[in-house]
């Protein structure tokens, strides 16, 4: 472990690596737009595909922690799922947090 780096020093090689990673990421964030704007009209199948993007991508970020997480995570996410039918945003976060703490310290899962 390199603990001798000072708080605000920037190594040129590290900075270059970060810059290239940033540029690569930016390309992914404009890539789809650049491809789309080169098209004159959008075929209906492509429109269906694009409409499916939120459900398809966001689900992958949810399914993995649910399936591979412990019972504490599973319980919290299941509770959040039910509460989420009625409440959005911060309420959901608070409920999910309370549920995972209850599962861990109340029921003893995953501690």
Partner 1 sequence: MSRHEQLTNGLKKGAVVAISSAPFGILFGAIAVDNGFSIAEAALMSGLVYGGASQLVGIELFGHHVAAWIIVLSILAVNFRHVLYSAALAGVIGRFPHAERWLSFFLLVDPQFAETVKREETGKPVTFRWYFAMGAVVWVSWVMTTMIGAYFGRMIGDPKAYGIDVLMPVYFLGLTMGFRSRHNFFPVMLAGGVSSVIAFHFIGSPWHISVGAVLGILVAVILPPPKAHVEPEVSEMEKEAM
Task: Map the footprint of partner 1 across residues 5-64, applying CB under 8 A.
Answer: 5-11, 13-15, 17-22, 24-26, 28-37, 44-45, 47-64
Tally of CA atoms within 13 A in the half-sphere of 10 that contains its CB: 6
Q: By CB under 8 A, tell whether 107 contacts partner 1.
A: no
- Distance spanning both ends of the chain, measured CA to CA: 28
Q: Residue 1 or 40: which CB sits closer to partner 1?
A: 1
CA-based radius of gyration for the chain = 21
What sign for the dihedral angle of Cα 78, 80, 83, 85?
negative
Count of other CB atoms within 10 angstroms of residue 69: 15
Closest distance to partner 1 from the beta carbon of 87 (Å): 9
Q: By CB under 8 A, tell whether 97 contacts partner 1.
A: yes
Q: Residue 17 or 107: which CB sits closer to partner 1?
A: 17
Q: By CB under 8 A, tell whether 108 contacts partner 1.
A: no
C-alpha to C-alpha distance for 28 and 6, rounded to whole angstroms: 33
Number of residues that bind partner 1 (CB under 8 A): 76
- Which parts of 62-81 interact with partner 1 (CB under 8 A)? 62-69, 72-73, 76-77, 80-81
């Amino acid at each position: 472990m390199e603990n001798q780096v000072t708080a605000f020093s920037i190594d040129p090689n590290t900075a270059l690596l970060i810059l290239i990673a940033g540029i690569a990421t930016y390309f992914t964030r404009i890539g789809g737009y650049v491809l789309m704007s080169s098209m004159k009209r959008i075929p209906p199948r492509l429109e269906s595909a694009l409409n499916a993007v939120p459900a398809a991508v966001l689900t992958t970020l949810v399914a993995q922690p649910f399936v591979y997480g412990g019972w504490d995570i599973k319980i919290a996410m299941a509770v959040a799922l039910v509460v989420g039918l009625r409440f959005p945003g911060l309420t959901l976060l608070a409920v999910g947090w309370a549920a995972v703490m209850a599962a861990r310290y109340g029921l003893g899962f995953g501690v």
